[in-house]
Amino acid sequence: MNQTYVHGYSERENQRLQDQASTLSELLHVDSLFPAGSHILEAGCGVGSQTLTLARQNPQASFTSIDISTSSLEQARQKLEAAGCRNVQFQQADIFNLPFKPGIFDHVFVCFVLEHLRAPGEALASLKKVLKPGGTITVIEGDHGSAYFHPDCAEAHLAIQCQIKLQADAGGNALIGRELYPLLRKSGFTDIRVSPRMVYVDASKPGLVDGFIRKTFTAMIEGVRERALQTDLVDAAAFEKGIRGLYRTADPDGTFCYTFFKAIAIK
Ligand SMILES: C[S@@+](CC[C@H](N)C(=O)[O-])C[C@H]1O[C@@H](n2cnc3c(N)ncnc32)[C@H](O)[C@@H]1O
């Protein structure tokens, strides 16, 4: 995973994850509320972008936030410490080999992680083991097939396809949002509720124009430029035109739509 994680662990990617989390916080987390006293496992916390929102919104709950990357964990730890949050414990751990006793967590939270895993179903099964009977899981993922925009641009779609293909080549799935229901069902979860969360952006929402179109989505597609060109998926001129096409949607007459999927299910 460390070698193939399509976005990498660069400073720029960490900033992108932070921008993404701040921009989408309300849309994704308005209902990320856990009862006082509950113990939540956050799997794949990265640099702590979601952790910060969760911990602040749920001061009476306690979180164990794990990641496979020690450097990301260190950044997450510093971020939460700077924010004065004391209800999170960080721990290096692999989702596929969790160092916890069965059934000890009230809730499991996973955001933007399954899309990078070769075996998301196995990950869910592993997480299910440490969840107590009747406990709940929240999974949030995007789906790059849900991106459409004005003005439309064939090369922008091609650039997005490069990202989807590279992520698939690395064993992930950038179209996983639409699969959350069947994945959770196959893993034996019940009462599965999937709620699509559409981000719709036009110039009347300048925060989203900058935070989502430019700094989250287009920054992510730009992030695969080198590898897209190396693998001959696209030529440089078409890729650059595609990126310009995506930025163009941030102009005053542009619009952009993207859908995230948030699933909640019970063990
Ligand atoms: C795109 S980041 C998402 C981080 C965070 N959840 C967020 O939404 O900002 C995916 C994270 O999953 C972690 N990860 C990938 N495979 C993992 C595994 N097998 N066990 C634990 N963490 C893993 C990566 O190290 C990375 O930090």
- pLDDT of 1: 42
One DSSP character per residue, 120-174 reads: HHHHHHHHHHHEEEEEEEEEEE--GGG-EEES--HHHHHHHHHHHHHHHHTT--T
Quote the ligand 1 centre to 44 CA distance (angstroms).
Answer: 4
Best residue for ligand 1 mutational test, from 113, 124, 163 (most atoms within 8 Å of Cβ): 113
- CA-to-CA dists, residue 235 to 188, 232, 244, angstroms: 44, 7, 14
For strands 105-111 and 148-150, give the pairing: unpaired
On average, the pLDDT of the chain sits at 93
CATH H-level superfamily of 11-266 = Vaccinia Virus protein VP39 (3.40.50.150)
- pLDDT of 23: 74
- pLDDT of 200: 95
- pLDDT of 3: 42
53 in ligand 1 pocket by Cβ < 6 Å? no
- pLDDT of 179: 98
Euclidean distance between CA atoms 188 and 125, whole angstroms = 8
Token code pair at residue 136:
């709940």
- pLDDT of 233: 79
Q: Which of ligand 1's atoms lies nearest the C-alpha of 72?
A: 27
- pLDDT of 184: 98
Is the pLDDT at 4 greater than 70? The verdict is no
pLDDT tens digits, 203-226: 999 989 999 999 999 999 999 999
Is the pLDDT at 21 greater than 80? The verdict is no
Quote the ligand 1 centre to 156 CA distance (angstroms).
Answer: 27
Cis peptide leading into 196, omega within 30 of 0? no
Best residue for ligand 1 mutational test, from 9, 17, 67, 122 (most atoms within 8 Å of Cβ): 67
pLDDT tens digits, 141-172: 999 999 999 999 999 999 999 999 999 999 99
pLDDT tens digits, 235-257: 999 999 999 999 999 999 999 99
Q: Which of ligand 1's atoms lies nearest the C-alpha of 17?
A: 9
28 in ligand 1 pocket by Cβ < 6 Å? no
Q: What is the mean pLDDT of residues 97-119?
A: 98
Backbone phi, then psi, for 151, in 5-degree steps? -70, 145
CB 53 within 8 A of CB 29: yes
